[in-house]
Amino acid sequence: MLDVRSERLARRFRLWDTDGNGHVDRSDFEAEGRRIIAAFGEDDRSPRGRAVLDAYLTMWDYLAAKAGVPPEGSLNAKQFDRIAQTEIILMGNTGFSTVLRPTISATLDLCDVDGDGQVNPSEFKRWVEAIGVTKPHAEEAFDQIDADHDGQLSIDELAQAVRDYHAGLLDVPLLGR
């Protein structure tokens, strides 16, 4: 039986495996970035759109390099689990800050339509629906993540929630399927 971390990484893998071929590659990471950008009506050539794409592609390049895969290569589910466990989960805050936080930060900047430096429920819903979370789950996730109950999510609240979710410490619906 898979532990919670591996189950969540398997779900993450399935979401990135957009063509269902059992492998993820650079184009799969790019596709998620483009879905998020499109959900906010942003041009992928704008500074905010470009930042999201660059963050996703940098994340792919980092994971691929650590797995010994060339940038144009791919990872199967087992390879992805192994490298994500090693480089993100087991490295704790250091791994998370290196691999995921830049993507969360760029996405937060894109999602922050009103420019207040935080994500409101509507902005959050648009973001997570773009990555496969249903509306009721998006609302539930927002409520659970909003640690200070101010109706807004800061980068720190979002980063901590994503980290804790993937580490199996938080049971909040942050991924679809």
Residues 116-156: pLDDT tens digits? 889 999 999 988 888 888 888 888 889 888 988 999 998 88
H, E, C per residue of 55-70:
HHHHHHHHHHHHHCCC
Per-residue model confidence (pLDDT) at position 132? 80
Please tell me which of 31-35, 142-146, 155-159 the model is most confident about, judged by mean pLDDT.
Answer: 31-35
42 and 118 Cβ atoms separated by less than 8 Å: no
DSSP state of 105: H
Domains and CATH numbers, the chain: 4-166 (1.10.238.10)
Contact 29/59 with Cβ under 8 angstroms?
A: yes
Confidence class of residue 1 from pLDDT cuts 50, 70 and 90? very low
Mean pLDDT computed over every residue of the chain = 90
DSSP 121-148: HHHHHHHHHHTT--HHHHHHHHHHH-TT
- Of residues 87, 74, 85, the one with CA closest to residue 27: 74
Contact present, 173 and 133 (Cβ < 8 Å): yes
Q: How confident is residue 175, by pLDDT bands cut at 50, 70 and 90?
A: low
The answer, yes or no, to whether residue 64 has pLDDT greater than 60, is yes
Residue 88 clears pLDDT 70, i.e. is over it: yes
108 touches 158 (CB < 8 A): yes
Examine the pLDDT at 72 and tell me if it is beyond 90. Answer: yes
Token pair for 67:
């797995």
Cut 0.85: pTM above it: yes
DSSP state, residue 21: S
Q: What is the mean pLDDT of residues 12-41?
A: 93
- What percentage of residues in the chain have a pLDDT greater than 90? 54
Confidence band, pLDDT 50/70/90 cuts, at residue 21: very high
